[in-house]
Amino acid sequence: MVFRFLLSCIFFSLLGASLQSLVYAQTLDVLVIGGGTSGVSAGITSARMKQRTLIVEESPWLGGMLTSAGVSATDGNHRLPSGIWAEFRERLRSYYGGADKLFSGWVSNTQFEPHVGARILDTMCKTEKYLRVLHGYYPIAVQKQGNRVVGVTIENAQGKRQTLSAKIVIDATELGDIAAMSGVPYDIGMESRHTTGETGAPETSNRIIQDLTYAATLKDYGVGADRTINRPAQYDPKEFDCTCKESCSDSTKKVVNCIKMLEYGKLPTTTGKPKYMLNWPTRGNDHYTNIIERNRIERLHALDSAKQTTLRFIYHIQHTLGFKHLGLADDEFPTSDSLALIPYHRESRRIHGMVRFTVNHIRDPYQFSLYKTGIAVGDYPVDHHHDKYYRHVENGPHINFSPIPSFAVPLGVMIPQNIDGLIVAEKSISVSNIVNGTTRLQPCVLLIGQAAGTLAALSVQQRKQPRSVSVRDVQSRLIQQKAFALPFLDGLPNDPYFEHVQKIGLTGILRGRGVPNAWATQTGFESASIIGIRDMRTAFHEAYGGKDITPLPIALTSGNFPATRIHALEELARYAKTIPEQNGKKVEAFLRENLASLLKRKELAFILHEAFRPFDRPISLQGEILNKKK
């Protein structure tokens, strides 16, 4: 171990000293291509698990859609403070002076200046001694041995190339480029309902993706200032008709007034000059183009038209709506045009993974077993942006998005079916087109990256391919990192029963209840509720029913339960281990006599976990229980 640590120190010293010319002879443990939302969290997590990790990011910033794309108003997971998402949010709160300071606009509870988010992520990376970041390079080829990815060749703007070798590669690119280079099958656009089984999907598949946005940050330069840009080519005010109430030709349309439109993404600042995120979906700067399978030059050319859409919108706000004092912020993005560094891609390639996560799994999770493999959570409804596409295409396929509860993303979505050495994150995971409308949001993607980093580190440590790493090992590590595997609102990471509720929830012995709820869907474990006798008996039967599980002694202390309950619970634990299944009535009598109105659901989760260890039973990537080896 000492030798390996010294070798790592030497390796990373060389890496920092001569990144531009070094030809790598040393194999990295984990190579993350793409320093976006999932890439940065994957890299941090892998490094914290003491794996030599390198993040390669073309732009000068880390964070992707959170920062570089300027979408610095997070969507979802406000009440699910989990893992790196919670850590990042806490640093924002500390910087701005409290949680209330981040609630500056009405679209999100967590808003911030893009450059502040980028600085925080950069600081988080620099504190990890096993992590380095290489900016200015992009991937051009994947190195393989058979069906295993073993490295990636990268290039910079000056044409310098380097080939990086790694035990595990994580594709955290914005559009799934590494997966495509590796030969992983994937989908683009909408699948047929006959493929996914989703009744809301179109009859036939197509290549239509969501609109993207080239975001901008506007700053208030004060009364009397005129920051109006030159009139963009092809500007027509009709393009933005009804973007807000005062400029709407149709009085029957329900649109917000123009001030509220701007305050949609109002950002907190420490300078006293208001700033506004410009990512407005209603007749605003969304733009339709599908660049996923174009080459690098073609992508850049196509994205210039998206920039022009945003510039026309800015001119419309300044000239037609009369906000001349609002101009492109001169202290945000390090770009020549002051627009975001990259566009906000809402959709990418979606790989064919070990499982495909569909809206059916979200809507009714307990009809399936995938929830048992959960590794990240989300609570945002399905939200697709297709307005700009529909405005230019007649009879486009509209999708009916039914309400959903909050959900757990299954582990198998990150693992390609036919390629080893590769984990896929960001928005390229194996989900349906419909589900991408909720898994694409920033906090959820941060957590997917954290799970990807955890899986990669365990794969290296255990010398296994990602598909062979135990689902329970990954979940245990994530729970140790205070990350949710299941989205239980009433069992937060600071609760002493957090681990027990999460792990018993993942077995399905005790279940949560999910409900759609506008822009923040919910699932509760009902932790503080008193467990019913019938439910308690069923729970014990399921927990004890595995013939290959030896019940472990339960350790109860006054720190876990009030002293008045300890004796009854100890008796229950002892008694439950000796009762044959057929003596159910005897069990019920004991439960009714001793705990009829005492035991809460979270306390029962503690007992089941400590006495019977049902979480320790291995499961497949599909959530099915596997037989233990004898």
Q: How far apart are CA 186 and CA 199, in angstroms?
A: 21
Q: How far apart are CA 44 and CA 422, in angstroms?
A: 18
Residues for the chain: how many in total?
630
3-state DSSP call for residue 47? helix
End-to-end Cα distance, the chain: 32
**Helix ranges restricted to H, 157-205:** 177-182, 193-196
Q: How far apart are CA 13 and CA 7, in angstroms?
A: 10
Q: What is the pLDDT of residues 23-45, one digit of tens each?
A: 344 789 999 999 999 999 999 99
So what's the pLDDT on residue 19?
A: 45
Q: How far apart are CA 174 and CA 37, in angstroms?
A: 9
Nearest of 223, 210, 218, 221 to residue 105 by alpha carbon: 218
So what's the pLDDT on residue 394?
A: 61
Q: How far apart are CA 200 and CA 402, in angstroms?
A: 8
Residue type, 106: W
3-state DSSP call for residue 9? helix
Please give the biggest Cα pair distance in the chain.
Answer: 84
| Residue 15 and residue 164 in contact, taking contact as beta carbons nearer than 8 Å | no
Other Cβ atoms less than 10 A from the Cβ of 351: the count is 28
So what's the pLDDT on residue 630?
A: 37
| Residue 257 and residue 245 in contact, taking contact as beta carbons nearer than 8 Å | yes
Residue 188 phi/psi, 5° resolution?
A: -130, 130
**Helix ranges restricted to H, 156-218:** 177-182, 193-196
- Alpha carbon separation from 170 to 43, 176, 422, 622 (Å, rounded): 9, 10, 6, 22
**Helix ranges restricted to H, 99-209:** 99-102, 114-126, 177-182, 193-196
- Alpha carbon separation from 171 to 40, 61, 319 (Å, rounded): 12, 18, 43
Nearest of 304, 317, 312, 289 to residue 236 by alpha carbon: 312
Q: Where do the domains of the chain lie, and which CATH numbers do they carry?
A: 2-191+347-480 (3.50.50.60), 212-328 (no CATH), 527-616 (no CATH)
Other Cβ atoms less than 10 A from the Cβ of 530: the count is 15
So what's the pLDDT on residue 553?
A: 37
What residues does 141 pair with on adjacent strands? 153
| Residue 19 and residue 154 in contact, taking contact as beta carbons nearer than 8 Å | no
So what's the pLDDT on residue 185?
A: 98
Nearest of 412, 329, 429, 315 to residue 373 by alpha carbon: 412
Other Cβ atoms less than 10 A from the Cβ of 398: the count is 10
| Residue 449 and residue 88 in contact, taking contact as beta carbons nearer than 8 Å | no
So what's the pLDDT on residue 117?
A: 98
What residues does 134 pair with on adjacent strands? 56
| Residue 41 and residue 478 in contact, taking contact as beta carbons nearer than 8 Å | no
Q: How far apart are CA 62 and CA 37, in angstroms?
A: 8
Q: How far apart are CA 253 and CA 546, in angstroms?
A: 60
Q: How far apart are CA 490 and CA 205, in angstroms?
A: 40
pTM exceeds 0.95 for this model: no
With a cut of 70, which residues of the chain have pLDDT below it? 1-25, 394-396, 533-534, 537, 544-598, 628-630
- Alpha carbon separation from 45 to 87, 352, 377, 392 (Å, rounded): 12, 25, 17, 43
| Contacts of 530 by beta carbon, 8 Å cutoff, 6+ apart | 597, 598, 599, 600, 601
Token readout for 244 is: 């807000």
State CA 48 to chain mean position distance. 19
